[in-house]
Structure 1
Amino acid sequence: MCRADRAGGCGSSQIVFNDQAETGPGEGGCTLKLSEDRISHLSHLILDQILEQGLIFMKEDDEPAARAEIRKVFVTELQKEEALDQKIRNKIVSYKRTIPEGSNEWHILYQRFQREEKTRKGSA
C-alpha cells in the first residue's frame, strides 16, 4: 500500500521491467513498480517462508518451477490491477465535466469505482 492509498487511495500498480521506461499514472496517482529482479526476489522470499513453515514439502529440483509459478502469479495479478486502474480512470474521464486527477473528488470516485468493480468480480 502506498502513501496515497493510506491517505485516501490512488489504486495504481504497474509492472516496470528493467528495460522499460517508467510510465506512472500521472498527477495524483501512485504506482507500484516491480522490476523483474524484485518479483524474483519476492518469489524466493515467499517460497522460502512456505518451506520454512512446513506448509509444503518439495524436492529441491522442484523449487525453480515453484518460484516461476509464484512470479507468474505476481505478474498476472499486477496486470489485472493495471487493467482495472485503466478502466476506472476511463470512467472518471468520461464524466461531462472535468474532474482534476488528484483532487478529493477524483480520489473518492476512484475508490468508489474500485470497490464496485472488485465487488462485481467477487474480490472485495
Structure 2
Amino acid sequence: MAGDPTDPTDGRVLAIVERGYRGALDKQFFDELYLATELHRQLGGLDVLLRGSAVGYALDAAPPPPLRIGNRTVDTLTDPRQGLRTLLGAGVRVLVEEPDIAALRSPLPLVDGVELAPAGATAARWAEYRMVVFL
C-alpha cells in the first residue's frame, strides 16, 4: 500500500521501456537508460520495467563488438548492459517481464540484480507509483 514506510514503491516513479534500441552511430552518448539514471537522481527514486524487445537489455551478454564499415572501425557503440549495471548500482530496481524474456529463448542469464516480473504484475501496481512514464 502506498504511504506504508516499508513499501518499496512509495514515492517512486515507474519507467517502462518497451522498444529495444535497434542501433545507429549517432546514439553513442545518450539513450533511455542514461535518461533513466538522470530521472532516478532528479525524481528521488525510480523503478524500470523492461518489456517487449527491450528485455534483451537484461541478458548478460558480451559488449557489442566493433562495427566495421568499409575501412573504418567504430568501437564506441553503446552497451545497454552497462547502462543497466549503472542503474542497479544507483539503487534503481530493474524488472523484466517474464513472458517477454522467455520468448527470446536465450540461454544467457540475466544481468545480476535484474528481477523477473510475472505478466501483468507490475501493471497491477501502477496506482502505487507516484508517476508512470514510458521511455
- TM interval, shorter chain, is under 0.3
Q: Which has the higher strand share?
A: 2
TM-score, normalized by length of structure 2? Answer: 0.25
Structure with max Cα Rg: 1
User: Higher helix share goes to which structure?
Assistant: 1
